[in-house]
Amino acid sequence: MKVFEAARLLDTTPRTLRFYEEKGLVTPTKARENGYRLYGEEDIERLRWIIALRELGMPLAAIGEVLQTARQPDDFLRLADRARALLYEEWVAAGQKLQALDGTIAKWRDQARPELGAAEDAAEKMKHSRSQRSSWNDRWDYDRLALEHGEAAPMAVLAKVLTPSSYEQALMKMLEWIDPVAGEYGAELGAGTGNLSVKLAEAGVRLTAIEQSAQMLSILRRRLPHVDAKLGNLLTLPLPDRVCAFIACSFAMHHLNDSQQLLALAEMDRILLPGGRMAIIDISKDSEAEAGSTKFAAAKQPTAAAIEPFRLHELQSWLQSRRYSIFVERLESAAVMLFAVKSEQS
């Protein structure tokens, strides 16, 4: 099949097919006598994949990687997960830019004239937000920990601060406060290998579990094949606005610095329905451990230097400014739970 025939069949243009060839995504044979491109059945199927994935928003570089794993389902899905996470990052960033531009235009209207200062202030905030989102990295190497420890990987970092018994009690306390209702939709953030996900799924909720480590996500999917599990992190959650009746986040905020924790809270607020509830359990600087707990001090040693207590007071202030009802409960060791209910008028 020649290029014009292939383009007609695929409802595209010859120029587009030549472009995909230039990018190395497809390699049609060429007739010896005249050099015309000839597309076989495999070429056509590959082009169908390329066109479909482009329409779904996948960049060409990601499509090339994905198609190399077409006969390896696990690798194919892993790369598709990564492409989706990147697409959500772009979508969240675009939404923030629109909000910032809307706010700047509103200021210009109030001032009756456009002032550079308003634009620069908004641009500086966007620059800071982008810097914080892009600066996050996995200092714990959770992919390696998942391979080494399996389902127990989350405790590999927390062992310096919590006993396995305290960890399990914290998860049960979160379940008690969330009080999941069968059939309602919620999200677990930083789901790890699914230790809390199992308990939420047993309650009969419709759950999306979000985890940044592909290896940990793989373990979670094996444990809970019917749970929607997505690759992503707390700074750009791969979910639409206002869809969750509840959010659960256990021992994940300590992966973030102060500014990133507030960005994560803003992301939780974005996906939470009015009247929705969120529960966050983590290691808190404001807990009694701050007064000198030996376990908390151990967390500051080089072996666990990456544990950064989440800033309870700052998070409470942020939530109060947005009319959340807030409850705090101290748990064993250095753990504390922040439970918040979003205003119905939000």
CA separation, residue 247 to residues 85, 236, 276, 281 (Å): 19, 15, 8, 11
Query: Hey, what CATH topology would domain 142-341 get?
Result: Rossmann fold (3.40.50)
Span 211-233, average pLDDT: 95
At 292 the pLDDT is 40
Backbone angles phi, psi at 117, to 5 degrees: -60, -40
The answer to whether residue 298 scores a pLDDT higher than 60 is no
Degrees to nearest 5, angle at CA 90 with 86 and 94: 165
Return the residue matching tokens 């629109």. 98
Cβ-based neighbours of 259, under 8 Å, separated by 6 or more: 128, 132
pLDDT digits (tens, 9 = 90+) for 133-171: 888 888 889 999 999 999 999 998 888 888 999 999 999
- Please state which of the ranges 127-136, 146-155, 222-231, 322-331 shows the lowest mean pLDDT: 127-136
Q: Where are the domains of the chain?
A: 3-67, 77-135, 142-341
Length of the chain: 346
At 19 the pLDDT is 96
CATH number, domain 3-67, options 1.10.260.40, 2.40.30.30, 1.10.1660.10, 1.20.1530.20: 1.10.1660.10
Q: What CA–CA distance (Å, rounded) separates 179 from 278?
A: 11
